[in-house]
Amino acid sequence: MMSANERARRPIRVLPPALAARIAAGEVIERPASVVKELVENALDAGARQIRVEVRGGGLTLIRVSDDGIGIPPDELPLACQRHATSKLPGDDLTQIRTLGFRGEALPSIAAVAELTLVSAADDSGVGRRLTLRDGAVAVDEPAPRPRGTTVTVRRLFQNVPARLAAAGRPQAEVALISQTVRRLALAAPHVRMTLIVDERQVLQTSGSGDRATTLIELYGPALAGRLQPLGPIEVAGASISGLIADPEVTRPGRNQVHVIVNGRWTQPRGLLATLEAAYRPLLPRGRHPVLVLVIETEPDKVDVNIHPSKLEVRLLAEQEIARAVGELIRTVLGRRLRSLQLPPRVDFDPLATAPLVAEESSAYDDDGPIVTPGLPPLRLIGQVQARLVLLEGSDGLYLIDQHRAHERILYERLKDLHGAEHEEPFVLPDPLLIELRPAQAARFSQRLDELAALGFRCEVFGTHTFLLRTAPPMPGVLPGLSGDALAALGQPDELLKTLLALADEEAAGETWKERLWVELACRTAVRRGRPLERSAMRALVGALGHTAAPAVCPHGSPLLLRVGEELIARTFGW
Ligand code: ADP
Ligand code: MG
């Protein structure tokens, strides 16, 4: 490295075109998978029904993409490889883009960092033109037999860019990225038959059936068959939204199978993804992610596709509104599935035979009758075990319920339901709580006041760094004095304040923050393990749990209910 004063001043010069192109190519072509993405997108834009991707040596030796699309007329072939040459912007209106490409950069960028051969025919004469570019110059140009369509071959990728070559991983790593890319493209185009061949071996193929569920199963394995639930379709802000989500028992350790497709483009809209995650997080086991496809169709002027060099991100105009609606959709579908999967109704089970026909409220005070709720089978209370579990008997076995997590689930759903329910009056605290803060905290806290009030926590400014909390959302079992509640003050009301404070410091905003607040409030204020419970409190707890959307998992996604089934008992004792 030269030091500043050793470095001689050199005149400014315009870079030679080949070098400039190589530098610019870095933006678009980062790895072999970027080449695959660009070439397959071109084939899709050309209306192909069949696309075949062939890769050798992790894509560094060879990448070949063949399609049966509209092809490139021979006289336009050299133009296709020029910078900023595209057939996809007939007008100059960037708001009306309906194709995946539009910048005219992919082919010239690839030609700058590899040897590029195009063979294409745009009619049914059986003859097309072959053009090979090597080091930016035409090396081969000749007629070639070819049915309508295009084959693009990329050889010796990055041979002239040692840094890129060194940065490329081992072939297996590149192949993994390439397969991921092809899967995403295939899922976005279910009507196209897509094949991936790696080192002469076929590793992926879709049928091009046009059905998204079929495509998902073809791409990620038959284990998904019969386990995909439809999302929507719904209409939000002029966009039509539909999708698929796998049953909650089919989860993945990462986000690789969460797909958002906007106008046929696989994309990662960050805000939307955060909201989706906030919606499924409390319904799935800790750290797990769903198999999810969300398909959004909207007018092209409602999406900005030009905000990211490789177009991986888009900006949706009505993103917030769409996110909210989709979050709700996911919660409903997953919640419903959770209930039906984890507590399968027994065929021989007749609730009328075991349960007296009484309303849940009155049965809660009738200590002998079973607890009847929509979410759980009728359960007869036996008692508390180890001061932390509620033991019950159902017609299909014994039930153990974690008292803390059950209460957490109840509080979480109560808070969530209350949010936005205009008619629900928050609970006025008999004595307002005094909140004293450090100056920096106070500043942040005052910015949250409206949001908190919308959630039922009305705070008044009291001094320079002091606030008074006057109301709270009705939280059964946490705030005393709520309508003859058998749960009265089981929980930890003093945690209310601490949780509010901790979350006022949070960076997260909007839906994510609210979701955090609900989860945290529910967790911290719920009844602790180790606390002895009255029978009436246990009945009320189980009764309320059976009315929640997902009575078998807590909002963190941990299990809260264990059924020791008749089968297990019989097997264990050899009956
Ligand atoms: P863009 O896709 O942004 O237009 P590209 O450099 O990827 O830019 O492609 C340049 C042009 O070459 C395209 O606009 C299109 O007309 C043509 N082209 C590229 N690949 C294909 C293909 N597989 N089938 C038909 N035309 C193609
Ligand atoms: Mg393109």
Which protein residue has the closest C-alpha to ligand 1 atom 21? 42
- Model confidence at 346, pLDDT cuts 50, 70, 90, reads very low
Which protein residue has the closest C-alpha to ligand 1 atom 23? 43
The answer to whether residue 434 scores a pLDDT higher than 90 is no
- Model confidence at 358, pLDDT cuts 50, 70, 90, reads very low
Q: From the CA of 39, how far away is ligand 2's center (Å)? A: 7
Higher pLDDT, 345 or 42: 42
In 3D space, the residue among 99, 337, 332 whose CA is nearest the CA of residue 234 turns out to be 332
Q: From the CA of 88, how far away is ligand 1's center (Å)? A: 8
Span 213-230, pLDDT tens digits: 999 999 998 888 888 999
Span 518-535, pLDDT tens digits: 888 899 999 999 888 888
Average pLDDT score over residue span 81-99? 79
Which protein residue has the closest C-alpha to ligand 1 atom 17? 80
* CB of 185 closer than 8 Å to CB of 44: yes
Q: How far apart are the C-alpha atoms of 468 and 380, rounded to whole Å?
A: 44
Q: From the CA of 307, how far away is ligand 2's center (Å)? A: 16
Give me the pLDDT at residue 490, please: 81
The answer to whether residue 5 scores a pLDDT higher than 80 is no
- Model confidence at 423, pLDDT cuts 50, 70, 90, reads low
128 lines ligand 1 (CB under 6 A): no
The answer to whether residue 354 scores a pLDDT higher than 70 is no
37 lines ligand 1 (CB under 6 A): no
Q: Report which ligand 1 atom has the smallest distance to the Cα of 109.
A: 6
For a substitution probing ligand 1, which of 27, 28, 45, 52 has the most ligand atoms within 8 Å of its CB?
A: 45
Percent of the chain whose predicted confidence (pLDDT) is above 90: 40
Query: Could you write out the three-class secondary structure of 320-362?
Result: HHHHHHHHHHHHHHHHHHHHHHHCCCCCCCCHHHHCCCCCHHH
Residue 233 preceded by cis peptide, ω within 30: yes
For a substitution probing ligand 1, which of 97, 107, 133, 154 has the most ligand atoms within 8 Å of its CB?
A: 107
The answer to whether residue 134 scores a pLDDT higher than 90 is yes
Quick one: tokens of 4? 């500043």
Give me the pLDDT at residue 517, please: 84
Give me the pLDDT at residue 487, please: 72
Give me the pLDDT at residue 308, please: 76
**What are the two backbone dihedrals, phi and then psi, of residue 440, each rounded to the nearest 5 degrees?**
-65, -40
Which protein residue has the closest C-alpha to ligand 1 atom 14? 86
Q: Report which ligand 1 atom has the smallest distance to the Cα of 41.
A: 2
- Please give the C-alpha separations between residue 207 and each of 215, 216, 491, in angstroms, as whole numbers: 7, 11, 55
Which protein residue has the closest C-alpha to ligand 1 atom 19? 42
The answer to whether residue 481 scores a pLDDT higher than 80 is no
For a substitution probing ligand 1, which of 86, 100, 305 has the most ligand atoms within 8 Å of its CB?
A: 86
The answer to whether residue 540 scores a pLDDT higher than 70 is yes
Give me the pLDDT at residue 259, please: 96
106 lines ligand 1 (CB under 6 A): yes
Q: Angle, to 10 degrees, between the axis of helix 510-525 and the axis of helix 494-504? A: 150
Q: From the CA of 82, how far away is ligand 2's center (Å)? A: 12
Average pLDDT score over residue span 439-447? 82
The answer to whether residue 561 scores a pLDDT higher than 90 is no
Least confident of 187-196, 334-343, 399-408, 526-535: 334-343
Q: How many beta carbons lie within 10 A of that of residue 431, not counting itself?
A: 7
Quote the mean pLDDT of the chain.
84
Which protein residue has the closest C-alpha to ligand 1 atom 16? 87
The answer to whether residue 50 scores a pLDDT higher than 90 is yes
The answer to whether residue 461 scores a pLDDT higher than 50 is yes
Average pLDDT score over residue span 406-430? 78
Q: How far apart are the C-alpha atoms of 56 and 64, rounded to whole Å?
A: 9
Least confident of 21-35, 215-229, 392-406, 500-514: 500-514
The answer to whether residue 364 scores a pLDDT higher than 70 is no
The answer to whether residue 341 scores a pLDDT higher than 70 is no
Which protein residue has the closest C-alpha to ligand 1 atom 20? 42
Give me the pLDDT at residue 512, please: 76
Span 11-34, pLDDT tens digits: 887 777 777 777 776 677 889 999
Q: From the CA of 466, how far away is ligand 2's center (Å)? A: 58
